[in-house]
Amino acid sequence: MVKTLPDFTHEAALGARVAGVDEAGRGPLAGPVSAAAVVLDPARIPPGLNDSKALTAARREALFEQIHAMAEVSLAWASVEEIDALNIRAASLLAMRRAIEGLARLPDAALIDGNACPEGLPCRSVTLVKGDAKSLSVAAASIIAKVARDRVMAELAKIHPGYGWEVNAGYPTAAHRAALLDLGVTPHHRRTFRPVHNILLSEMK
């Protein structure tokens, strides 16, 4: 089966000024969740734009700069504290809403990756499952959110070395799990996530 590249079909069908919206960081044990909203100029789409997961880190970095130069971009976050208080799904939707609201000019419609829309959006919203592989705007948002979050985790890795965040971005790799047992829980770990929660429980016994 030949994989197709994302295109502008979904944006064109909406017939409006559309922001692609995506998040990064739902699965990690540590760090905030990021979300981006991107309004592309159909006449200035960076070449090679694709789902962030289909790109190398170097290609994502290059496209990150090109998207910022050619499109309207808004980046937003939900903190570890908000993730623990709300749950990761609600925190991700919150970050998405913040990204949309952070655009210099609100879009007519938001094309949102996944099957859920944030509540209280100031514009029309449409969900698109696996949107980062289907829509150029969502693909652009996936790159912005992913690269920005990876950079934050690399900086946090300098403050808390040993967990490998500069490589694993906080995801629950074997090395990260081992470091949690050896080094303990940091303020940047998500306390409601099971591996972290279990360690905290064992320390209380």
Give the separation between CA 28 and CA 31, rounded to whole angstroms: 7
Is the residue at 125 inside a domain?
yes
What is the average pLDDT across 55-83? Answer: 97
Residue 34 lies in a domain: yes
Residue 179 lies in a domain: no
Does 172 fall in a domain? no
pTM for this prediction: 0.95
- 171 inside domain: no
Beta bridge partners of 33: 78
Residue 74 belongs to domain with CATH number: 3.30.420.10
Position 167 in a domain:
no
Domain count for the chain, please give it.
1
pLDDT for the residue numbered 3: 62
HEC string of 83-149 equals: HHHHCHHHHHHHHHHHHHHCCCCCCCEEEEECCCCCCCCCCEEEEECCHHHCEHHHHHHHHHHHHHH
Residue 67 resides in a domain: yes
Q: Is the pLDDT of residue 111 over 80?
A: yes
Residue in this structure with the two tokens 């044990």, named with its chain if needed: 29
What average pLDDT does range 79-86 have in this prediction? 98
Looking only at the bridges linking them, the beta strands covering 72-78 and 33-39 are antiparallel
Domain that holds residue 57: 9-159
What's the chain's average pLDDT? 95
71's tokens: 């499109």
- Residue 22 is assigned to a structural domain of this protein: yes
Mean pLDDT in residue range 96-122: 96
